[in-house]
Structure 1
Amino acid sequence: MRSIGEMAGDSGLSASALRFYDRSGVLVPAWVDPLSGYRWYEPGQLDEARVLTRLRRAQMPLADIRLVLAGWSGADTELVRGLLEAHLRRLEEGLADARTEFSAIRALLDDRENLMTSLGTAAPVRVGVPADRLAAALDAVRFAVGTDPALPVLGGVLFDVEGDALRVVATDRYRLAVAETGTEGHGGDRVQALVDAPLVDAMRALLRGEGTAQLTVDGDRVSLETDGGQAGGQRLEHEFPDYRRLVQLPAGRTAVVDVAAFGEALRSGPVRDHEDSERSGVSYEVSVVAVDGGTVTVRGEGDEDEHRVGVNRAYLLDALAAGARDRLVLELGAPTAPVVIRRPDDAGTYSLLMPVRLEG
């Protein structure tokens, strides 16, 4: 007999996935200890678990997976082969449809590129920013900068100057962070500059004390000058996505959390192993949280509340640290809506974390 831990290690399925497939009636353990509830599997179930792993990676529907495993040990393989071929046809048809739609979207993009102009300005734009406020703003968003070389547009921080406000924004698709501070000497039209991560870090190193930093956008160059020196370089040519559309969310359930206590509850509380279907080979631990009556809780395996939301635990801990407050506001909407972390005293600074789809 194999324990659930041994089964997980040998099959490629996590222990939480094995528990899920047990509850779903897809791969039921041969024996469950009536006292401890611990699951044990027969040696022959390892092959089924490995098949299940492959079917899961191929994104076969759960109903079909159940039938494949039900017919796996039989002498007649016609049903299994038919299900595999039918799913493969669906994938191929879906890919063909996606290619058609993407081609149409690319054509629309080509038309837009011919009409759109750069946000750069002919005359240099210079604004003064309180050094300590800009330092705090950069600290609040730096954790969300993307590192995927295939998406260089997300590999920096957007400096967005509009009127007398400066917003800095970063996102890696799975989390988005925004911070706002006031400026002096502009008060005009909107100006944007996308700055790569190394230059952002060099700018941050200059921001010491409470003086005023001078931010300059001159054509394709951006620089920051303080009493301690200057850092500058070419701004990224890419156009950052319109983050203002991404943060327009319906109100959710909120709770004010003690950051230290909530962080400890996350670090010591239950987690679920998650394999990212969008990023092959990427896995991480998911915390399941819920807000009820103004109180946030970290949920265990058996808590199936409809209001629970799964979130990458490491990302949530990073966002709590970047919030730089003893108390923060946690906002949960639908299970498919982003988790929002806000400062109670600063409406312009917040983070959004994409939820993780919970199996079942």
Structure 2
Amino acid sequence: MRSIGEMARDSGLGVSALRFYDRAGVLVPAWVDPVSGYRWYEPGQLEEARMLACLRRAGMPLADIRLVLASWSGADTGLVRELLKAHLHRLEQGLSDARGEFSALRALLDQRENVMTSLRNTTVRLSVAAPELAAALDAVRFAASTDPELPMLGGVLFDIEGESLRVVATDRYRMAFARAGVAGHDGGRVQVIVPSPLADAMRALLDGEGPVRLSLDGGRVSLEAGDRQVAGQCLDHDFPDYRRLLPRVGGRRAVVEVAAFRRSLDTGPVRSGEVGAPDLSVLRVAGGGAVTLCADADEDPNRIAVNREFLLAALAAGARDRLILELGAPTTPIAIRRPDDEDAFSLLMPVRLDH
């Protein structure tokens, strides 16, 4: 007999996935300990588990998977072949439809590809308080992307308008936003994307209390702090319109003591995803407004799963002893705000719980 841990290791399915497929009647263990509830599997079930993992990775619906597994042990594999063929056809049709939609989208992009050019090809000279810019960079830097397939997200957006500098970073799964006041800019809106290494070099200069000088000249940005300077080329890409993603204040708000909450994340239940997936922390707002971690068996419909590593990084970037967590529906981003400065916040995309 194989333990559930051994089955997870050898099949490519996580322990929580195996529990889910047991409850769904798809892959039922051969024996369950009546006292501990621990699941055990026969050696022959490993092949079914590996096939189940393959079919899920291929996106086959659970109802069809159940039929495949039910037919697998029979002498006639015709139904299995027909189900695989039908699913492959759906995938091919879906890809064909997606190609058509993307062609239409590219045509729209071609029509407006130069609209944003004026936002980043302007000469600007302004000053900003070093502590404010340092705090803004610290609040957002963790959310910048490292995905080479999305170079436009591989930096920090500087969005200048009036007397305000908005600093934004996102990797699609999280977004962080902060503001700093500026002086000396009386023109229109200007946007540039500062590459992450250059943003880090800028942050290293911001160790004083006085103002620093930020200059934008076409595609080049520089920061002067006293007799020290860093400069470099901005990313030649357009940044997503982050304003459409900004959260409205609302939902279930809870004030958390950061140190205690971090300890609960370190020691509390963690939901392990399938192979290659991140570990998740599953949150809910309990009575009295406290945020608690859900155990694996907790089926609270309002629970929200989030990438545990991302949550810990957002708490650190919040740089406060207390932070406000806003939790809405299980599909709504989690907002993390500072009680004394709600203009600096981060968003974490929730992770769908299939099991």
Q: Above 0.5 in TM-score?
A: yes
Match of 2:136?
137
SS at match of 1:183: strand
SS at match of 2:178: strand
RCO higher in structure (CA 8 A, sep ≥6): 2
Do residues 297 (structure 1) and 292 (structure 2) align?
yes
- The one-letter code of the counterpart of 1:204 is R
Match of 2:46?
46
SS at match of 1:230: strand
Do residues 346 (structure 1) and 341 (structure 2) align?
yes
Which of these residues, 301, 304, 323, is aligned with residue 318 of structure 2? 323
Structure 1 residues 71 and 271, CA, compared in 2 at 3 Å: closer, same or farther? same
Match of 2:353?
358
Deviation at 1:248, TM superposition (A): 3.9
Match of 1:120?
120
SS at match of 2:112: helix
Structure 1 residues 121 and 54, CA, compared in 2 at 3 Å: closer, same or farther? closer
Match of 1:2?
2
Q: TM-score, normalised by structure 2?
A: 0.97
- The one-letter code of the counterpart of 1:118 is S
Deviation at 1:339, TM superposition (A): 0.9
- The one-letter code of the counterpart of 1:135 is A
Deviation at 1:111, TM superposition (A): 1.3
SS at match of 2:134: helix
The answer to whether the 8 Å contact 1:206/1:228 transfers is no
Deviation at 1:237, TM superposition (A): 1.1
Identity between Structure 1 and Structure 2 (%)? 68
Displacement over 4 Å in runs of 4+: none
* Mapped partners of 2:71, 2:247: distance in 1: 48
Structure 1 residues 246 and 53, CA, compared in 2 at 3 Å: closer, same or farther? same
Which of these residues, 277, 283, 297, is aligned with residue 283 of structure 1? 277
Over the aligned positions, Cα root-mean-square deviation in angstroms equals 1.4
Deviation at 1:188, TM superposition (A): 3.5
* Mapped partners of 2:245, 2:346: distance in 1: 11
> 1:185-224 deviations in whole A, cap 9, x for unaligned?
2243211111001110110000002111111111111111
Match of 1:269?
268
Q: TM-score, normalised by structure 1?
A: 0.95
Match of 1:332?
327
> 1:69-90 deviations in whole A, cap 9, x for unaligned?
1111111112211111111111
> 1:168-200 deviations in whole A, cap 9, x for unaligned?
100011110001111122243211111001110
* Mapped partners of 1:49, 1:23: distance in 2: 15
* Mapped partners of 2:90, 2:29: distance in 1: 31
Equivalent runs, 1:62-81 vs 2, <5 Å: 62-81=62-81
Deviation at 1:274, TM superposition (A): 2.0
* Mapped partners of 1:121, 1:81: distance in 2: 58
The answer to whether the 8 Å contact 1:250/1:333 transfers is no
SS at match of 1:311: strand
* Mapped partners of 1:116, 1:18: distance in 2: 49
* Mapped partners of 1:145, 1:109: distance in 2: 24
* Mapped partners of 2:26, 2:97: distance in 1: 31
SS at match of 2:278: strand
The answer to whether the 8 Å contact 1:273/1:284 transfers is yes
* Mapped partners of 2:170, 2:103: distance in 1: 26
Match of 2:246?
247
Do residues 158 (structure 1) and 157 (structure 2) align?
yes
Match of 2:201?
202
* Mapped partners of 1:81, 1:18: distance in 2: 25
* Mapped partners of 1:137, 1:114: distance in 2: 29
Match of 2:26?
26
The answer to whether the 8 Å contact 1:2/1:40 transfers is yes
Deviation at 1:47, TM superposition (A): 0.7
* Mapped partners of 2:241, 2:91: distance in 1: 32
> 1:254-305 deviations in whole A, cap 9, x for unaligned?
1000001111111111111224xxxxx7321011001134110110111111
